[in-house]
């Protein structure tokens, strides 16, 4: 039984995207000052990037999603009634015009949900 619990913890984690330090962005990226090169040095390459021709700007997209089964979720899974999951999501869009960061949008969310069988 203990082995099953340990295995449940090992396989019950999923991630997607690239982990990003939101506090480092908030503390170090200055609108109208930080360059694209400085941003890339701080955050690395984005998950995706695009060019907005209408507004003549680059948009760098950073995203990270993590989903883990909770301790209660392991118990409910073993009992056979469902699984409890904790999800954390971080989405960061950074807008760059003429090589300078001009705006950013940061969205973080966290939730815990029980999925019944």
Taking alpha carbons only, the member of 55, 52, 46 closest to residue 91 is 46
66-72 average pLDDT score: 71
Strand partners, 43: none
Taking alpha carbons only, the member of 7, 12, 4, 24 closest to residue 66 is 12
- pLDDT tens figures, 7-51: 444 456 777 788 889 999 999 999 999 999 999 999 999 999 999
Q: In this predicted structure, what is the pLDDT of residue 15?
A: 73
User: Which single residue is written with the structure tokens 């409910």?
Assistant: 76
C-alpha span between 68 and 75 (Å, rounded): 14
Q: In this predicted structure, what is the pLDDT of residue 80?
A: 65
Domain range for 91: 2-116
C-alpha span between 104 and 51 (Å, rounded): 15
Overall domain count for the chain: 1
Q: Is the pTM of this model over 0.85?
A: no
86-98 average pLDDT score: 93
């Amino acid at each position: 039984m203990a082995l099953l619990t340990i295995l449940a913890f090992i396989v019950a984690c999923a991630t997607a995207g690239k982990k990003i330090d939101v506090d480092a962005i908030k503390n170090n990226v200055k609108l109208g000052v930080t360059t694209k090169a400085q941003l890339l040095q701080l955050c690395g390459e984005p998950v995706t990037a695009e060019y907005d021709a209408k507004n003549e700007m680059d948009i760098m997209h950073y995203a990270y999603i993590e989903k883990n089964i909770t301790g209660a979720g392991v118990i409910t899974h073993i009992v056979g009634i469902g699984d409890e999951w904790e999800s954390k999501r971080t989405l960061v869009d950074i807008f760059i015009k003429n090589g300078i960061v001009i705006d950013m949008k940061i969205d973080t969310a966290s939730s815990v949900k029980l999925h019944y069988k």
